Each structure stands twice: as C-alpha cells, then as structure tokens.
Amino acid sequence: MDKKIRVRFAPSPTGYLHVGGARSALFNYLFSRHHNGTFILRIEDTDRSRFVENAMKEIFESMKWLGLNWDEGPEVNGDYGPYEQSKRLDLYKKYAEKLLESGNAYRCFCSPQRLAELRTEQEKNKQNIGYDRHCLTLSEDQVAEKLKKGDPHVIRFKIPHGRIVSFEDSIRGRIEYKSEVLDDLVLLKADGFPTYHMANVIDDHLMEISHVLRGDEWIASTPRHILIYEAFGWEPPEFAHLPVILAPDGKKLSKRKGAASVMDYKQNGFLPEALFNYLALLGWSPGDDREKMSLEEMVKSFSLKQVSAKASVFDEKKLEWMNGLYMAERSALSLADIVVPEWKKKQWINSERSTHDQYLLDVIELMKVRSKRTTDLVENSVYFFKDPQTYEEKAARKYFKDNAAELLKEIYTELEQLQVFDKDHLEKLYHDFAQKSEISFGKIIHPARLAVSGVSFGPGLFELLSILGKEVVLRRIKTTVSFIERNRT
C-alpha cells in the first residue's frame, strides 16, 4: 500500500466495551501495525441522551488491558485533536453551514410530533419510512422568519435522487444502493450536536483516516456517507465492514446474548492475550491451521483479504480452552499478581504475603496447567491454605472403606520417618510401601489424596505432598484416620 495508513476505533461512551466492539478495535489495531500505520482512538460522545458516566474510563481500561494501545487519542494526544467529538462542535457547525451554502443541506423545522405522525402514516400505508422533504420547499423568507422567531430546527442533508451510490468494500466487494431508498438524514440536531453521520465523515476526513474498518451494521449508512463526502468534494476512505458475531444459538451477540464487557472477562479469570487471540480469529484466519498465535505472528499475518464476510460464533468453551493454553505458558510470577490478591480477599493468606513468596509460586506453578481460568486456579487451590473441613462424599464412600484407616496409619509412620520430603523420595516411599504390602498402588494413592486435599482430583499426589510439607501432611492424615474411625458402621 502506497498511502499512509491511518485507522481509528471510535466507540461511544454509552456503556462498556463489549466483545464486538473490542474485535473491531483489535482488527483496526492489527491492520495498522501490519502496515506500520497509525491507530487512533476517537470518542464519539455527541449522543448526550445515552451518555453513561464512567463509560469512557472503562473503555480506556479495557483497551489497555487487552494491549490495544493507541497512537493518537485521549490521554495520548496528537496533531489531529481534540479526539472527543463533544469538543469539536464548532467544526461541525462550520461544515454544516458550508453544506447549506452549497445547497446540499437545508433547515428542517418539523416538530417531533409531526415526524411521529408521518412515520405512523407511512407504516400504515406500507410506505418506505423516511422524511418527506416538507421543509425543502420553504422559501428563504420563510426560513429567515422562523430563525428570527427562534423556532427549533435541525439541518438535513439533501440526498440527490436518481443515483446509484456504490462503493468497494474490502471484505464484501462492490455494494450498490439506489439513492431513492435513502432519506434526508439529519446532520445537525436542534441542540447543536451533530449526528453520527455528520461527525463521522468530517472527523474521518480531517483526521486523514485512510481505511474505515467497522461492524457490518454500518453498511446501510455508508452510501449516505459517500454522498456527504461527495458534497464536500472530498475523497472517501476505503471501507471494510466486519462480519457479525453470533451467540451460540445463532442469534446476534448482544448484551442479553453473551456480549459481556471486556472487564467481565477479566473478572471471570481470562487472560488478555487469550481473549485477544480468540477475538482475532472471529472472522479472520491466517490462512493455515494455526489457532494459538503470538501478537507478532498476528501482526505479520493480518490481511483484510483473509477476513470473511461470514458471521462468526462466539464460543466461550473455545475461549476457555485457549485461555488454558496461555495459563500453562505464563510464569508463576506473572500469575501471582492476579491470583495472590484473590487469595488475600478470601483470607486464605494474610495480607503481608508477597507475590514473590516461594510457597505461593510453587502452588501456582503446580495448579496453572490444570486451570482454564485464573478463577479456577484460585478456587481449586483452597487445600494448600486450609485443612479440609469435609471430604468429597462419593470419593469418601469409595476410598475410606475396608482397611483404609489402617493403611493410612502405616503410611503415616513411613512418612514420619522420611528425612527428605520431596517428590522423588515420596514417590519411592509409596512404591516401596505398595510392593512390601503387596497391594495395588491405587489403594494407597487415592485415600492419601482425599485425606490431604478433601477432593479426589488435582495435581500429582507427590508434588502435592511435597509442597504441603511434612507437618501439614501428617496432621491431615491423622485427622482423616480419626474421621474414618468415627464414621465406621
């Protein structure tokens, strides 16, 4: 590509950043990095009726957590700011006046009541829904009189009729619309704030955006944008409309259909690199069978030619699988920053314990490969900090019967005499004991695991025992023997 690549992600602070928005941001990011371009964050905050306090802050936090660091925008600045549309109102007013002067726009004084009645009538008669150009025929004197009286009004764009409006979509190919199906959209509202369409076109032009990568719900708006560019005599950017993301039931992903916020995924134990990797593959393929990819690999491989127009299904189980791969790969120290504060919240460890504490790092190292989420790691490691208060009921019935108490007593004696309490020595002790006693390995392994952890699953027994340490293991076995003997029938 010869032209300077500048792309933008332009969320509205009307709520959190959900996975659909994050995927759009991510594709823009990968595209810009692949072409050594510029990734811009722009806040489209002109819809004041839907503005949500603190939404902007959460958008920033979500993007930073995912690693989508912007080159220009709020908190970073740049040569094309301000990057919040509410701070650019004079610009929009100036350009709306230009369209009025050129005859490409007109003032509309229709009341909300009239517009509602018009819509009802059109629906009743099964007509296309849209403005009927009632105010287009107002004379200059009539307009001047209404302005003098201070009548509220909007500025509408005059759609040229009898046109085929076409554009080349980088993902979907050529798309055409008859201009008759496009109504005269509002550019500037009565409160002086621009609509999305007006602000979007002006900002993309002034910020020299080369490519617009956005969700496919904006396809129907694109011909209107093309006509606004044309009215100004500006060259439009290249467009690419990204495939929709579906819920597992085949319906569009929404807040009620699993479109959780990015921060929800953080709270629910997902790692940013796993969510990034998974979202990148929703609609894009590197052209081979690779699924787990580093950021560098994704940047190197990314191409709009390999983005499908077909909808993708968001499968949380697949995301969990991918997260498990990244969990296993992460260092215990990096996971400690996430996990240790949660253990402190549960009061399993005291608040002074450091993330560099070797015991805690050993626990994380042992459990990370057996966890799909950091929340799993937190919850499933309780027995490293607290003696079992209960035993898994079904497993207890199976493993705490017959001579289990006697075997545990004998194992207790052997363990008590063991000088080096590490994995290798423990494994040898158990093998020797099984051989000497002429019993199967499972008969002594399963009761021991249940005795020290309270559950029948988890990491290898000998790693578990060595981390817990001799004193804790002996105490828990002793407690278990008492429990079995009390509950004998």
Q: Residues 231, 336: one domain?
A: no
pLDDT digits (tens, 9 = 90+) for 132-164: 999 999 999 999 999 999 999 999 999 999 999
Query: What average pLDDT does range 117-131 have in this prediction?
Result: 92
For residue 82, tell me if it sits in a domain: no
For residue 322, tell me if it sits in a domain: no
For residue 278, tell me if it sits in a domain: yes
Q: Which of 178, 255, 300, 436 is catalytic?
A: 255
CATH number at residue 95: 3.40.50.620
The predicted structure's pLDDT at residue 247: 85
Instruction: Work out the burial of residue 418: count CB atoms within 10 Å of its CB; fewer than 13 is exposed, 13-18 middle, 19 or more buried.
Output: middle
The predicted structure's pLDDT at residue 250: 82
The predicted structure's pLDDT at residue 53: 80
Query: What average pLDDT does range 22-34 have in this prediction?
Result: 98
- As given in the structure block, the two tokens for residue 355 are 């993330």
Task: Specify the number of domains making up the chain.
Answer: 4
pLDDT digits (tens, 9 = 90+) for 383-430: 999 999 999 999 999 999 889 999 999 999 999 999 999 999 999 999
For residue 325, tell me if it sits in a domain: no
Q: Residues 97, 235: one domain?
A: yes
Q: Would the pLDDT of 329 be above 60?
A: yes
Q: Residues 54, 120: one domain?
A: no
Q: State residue 118 phi and psi, 5-degree precision.
A: -60, -45
Q: Residues 376, 421: one domain?
A: no
Q: Where are the alpha helices (DSSP H) in 330-422?
A: 332-345, 358-367, 374-380, 393-399, 404-417
Q: Would you state the torsion angle of the CA atoms of residues 444, 445, 450, 452, taken in this order, to the nearest 10 degrees?
A: 100
Enumerate the β-bridge partners of residue 177: 165
Contacts of 395-400 with C-beta under 8 Å, sequence gap 24+, read 395/446, 395/450, 395/455, 395/456, 396/450, 398/446, 399/446, 399/447, 399/450, 399/456, 400/447, 400/450, 400/480, 400/483, 400/484, 400/487
Peptide bond into 447 cis (omega under 30): no
Q: Would the pLDDT of 47 be above 60?
A: yes
pLDDT digits (tens, 9 = 90+) for 342-369: 999 999 999 999 999 999 999 999 999 9
Q: Would the pLDDT of 255 be above 60?
A: no
H or E segment to which residue 118 belongs: helix 112-124
Q: Residues 51, 190: one domain?
A: no
For residue 81, tell me if it sits in a domain: no
Q: CA 117, 123, 124 angle in degrees (round to 5)?
A: 90
Which of 242, 262, 280 terminates a domain? The answer is 242
Q: Residues 110, 225: one domain?
A: yes
Bridge pairing between strands 6-9 and 38-41: parallel
Q: Residues 112, 220: one domain?
A: yes
Q: Would the pLDDT of 2 be above 80?
A: no
pLDDT digits (tens, 9 = 90+) for 290-310: 999 999 999 999 999 999 999
Q: Residues 356, 464: one domain?
A: no
The predicted structure's pLDDT at residue 254: 64
Q: Please say if 255 is a catalytic residue.
A: yes
- As given in the structure block, the two tokens for residue 401 are 């019967």
Rama region for 85: left / alpha / beta (φ>0; ψ in -120 to 50; rest): alpha
Q: State residue 432 phi and psi, 5-degree precision.
A: -60, -40
Containing structural domain, residue 130:
88-242
For residue 324, tell me if it sits in a domain: no
Contact (CB, 8 A) for 484 and 404: yes
Q: Residues 10, 26: one domain?
A: yes
Angle between helices 461-468 and 358-367 (to 10 degrees): 170
Q: Give the C-alpha separation, 61 to 40, whole Å.
A: 16
The predicted structure's pLDDT at residue 167: 97
For residue 80, tell me if it sits in a domain: no
For residue 79, tell me if it sits in a domain: no
